[in-house]
């Protein structure tokens, strides 16, 4: 048990110490404010330009300045806030994927908040069960394939990717990445640990190469003939569809996209989440920021600029997402999926998905 625990700990936070020191070095003292200035201090592991545009809009509407500390890796951000303890200036924490949300929650970094506006705006399955965090954007974990080599009806579910007929055809990120950890956590929720471990073993045997790169790298690898199938986030596929770069158009030309498990539970979703830090010095300003991020105007901007699905049901999808199809999403409570993260990491280690 001791060995398993240490392996799990390394998996969860292996880059943390280096990341913490690096983030301290690059961030400086960005939180000083005059007595009359209204501020909210935001720690975020999102890295999209549209977020900065939203923060400027928030300042114009509310008069509250967003002091943004952007830290690339969620594990680095978590370790920094833990090390700051009660003296942490963080008011709002934003991170990507339910696995990272669980890690932050497990580190006791949040305090619960519950407002009428948040309750009305965000569906209950996208809210932590104790109201510690709220989803602010969604992206589906889809399957892409080479239309010249794979028939569309050959793959309908994530579970189909374990079929031995796909041996040497599947491409994937490493198991260290939270996207894969969360997908496996969702499979545990749906199918149980034993069946999920068998699936992981067979899936790993079907890999065309050692896992490497990001989602767009997997799609490029399909174009270059290194594999025929990959699991990618929908917004990466949409990014290629919208791109005016001829090279991107070559990559996406023969790619098809499948929304898995449409006849049963629906496609697994990743979420960016936001919550109030446990020792937030500007708690009320932080609540206003999160409420703004789930407002209709902000949700429309996020969807349009970053090809993400809105969490609000009254916000229209962008044309590129509509043209990709109307997927059914898995409606399991995301916090329940997050709780399976340690089990998912253990299984990924055991089957050798590196």
d(CA 69, CA 110): 17
Ligand-binding annotation for 47, yes or no, is yes
For 211, left (φ over 0), alpha (ψ -120 to 50), or beta?
beta
Burial of 157 (0-12, 13-18, 19+ CB in 10 A): middle
Query: What is the CB-side half-sphere exposure of residue 312 using CA atoms within 13 A?
Result: 20
Report the length, in residues, of the chain: 354
Given a contact cutoff of 8 angstroms between Cβ atoms, the answer to whether 12 and 107 are in contact is no
Which of 318, 1, 354 lies closest to 138 in space, CA to CA? 318
Tokens of 178: 């939270």
Bridge partners for 138 per DSSP: 271, 309
* Torsion, Cα of 306, 119, 322, 53 (10° steps): -20
Strand 134-146 relative to strand 65-70, pairing = unpaired
Would you tell me how many other CB atoms lie within 10 Å of the CB of residue 212? 13
Question: What residues contact 122, with CB distance under 8 A and at least 6 apart?
Answer: 134, 135, 294, 311, 312
- Between the CA of residue 134 and those of 52, 122, 147, 219, 280, what are the distances in Å? 19, 7, 37, 31, 17
For 23, left (φ over 0), alpha (ψ -120 to 50), or beta?
alpha
Residues of each annotated binding site: 47, 235-236
Residues of each annotated binding site for Fe cation: 47, 235-236
């Amino acid at each position: 048990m001791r060995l398993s625990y240490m392996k799990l700990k390394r998996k969860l936070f292996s880059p943390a110490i280096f990341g913490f020191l690096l983030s301290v070095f690059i961030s400086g003292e960005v939180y000083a404010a005059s007595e009359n200035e209204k501020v909210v201090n935001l720690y975020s592991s999102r890295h999209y330009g549209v977020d900065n545009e939203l923060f400027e809009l928030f300042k114009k509407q509310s008069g509250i300045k967003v002091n943004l500390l952007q830290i690339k890796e969620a594990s680095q951000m978590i370790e920094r806030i833990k090390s700051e303890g009660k003296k942490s200036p963080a008011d709002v924490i934003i991170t990507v994927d339910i696995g990272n949300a669980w890690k932050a929650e497990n580190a006791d970094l949040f305090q619960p908040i519950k407002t009428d506006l948040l309750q009305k705006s965000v569906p209950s399955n996208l809210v932590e069960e104790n109201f510690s965090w709220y989803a602010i954007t969604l992206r589906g974990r889809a399957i892409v394939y080479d239309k010249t080599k794979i028939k569309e009806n050959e793959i309908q579910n994530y579970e189909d990717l374990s079929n031995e007929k796909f041996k040497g055809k599947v491409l994937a990120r490493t198991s260290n990445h939270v996207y894969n950890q969360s997908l496996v956590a969702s499979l545990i929720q749906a199918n149980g640990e034993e069946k999920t471990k068998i699936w992981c073993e067979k899936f790993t045997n079907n890999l065309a190469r050692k896992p490497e790169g990001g989602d767009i790298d997997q799609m490029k690898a399909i174009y270059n003939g290194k594999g025929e199938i990959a699991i990618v986030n929908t917004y990466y596929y949409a990014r290629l569809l919208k791109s005016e770069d001829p090279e991107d158009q070559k990559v996406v030309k023969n790619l098809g996209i499948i929304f898995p498990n449409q006849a049963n539970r629906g496609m697994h979703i990743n979420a960016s989440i936001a919550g109030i830090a446990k020792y937030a010095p500007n708690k009320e300003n932080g609540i206003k920021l999160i409420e703004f991020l789930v407002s209709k105007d902000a949700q429309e901007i996020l969807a349009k600029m970053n090809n993400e699905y809105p969490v609000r049901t009254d916000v229209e999808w962008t044309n590129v997402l509509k043209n990709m199809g109307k997927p059914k999403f898995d409606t399991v409570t995301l916090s329940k999926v997050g709780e399976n993260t340690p089990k998912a990491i253990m299984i990924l280690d055991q089957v050798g998905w590196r």
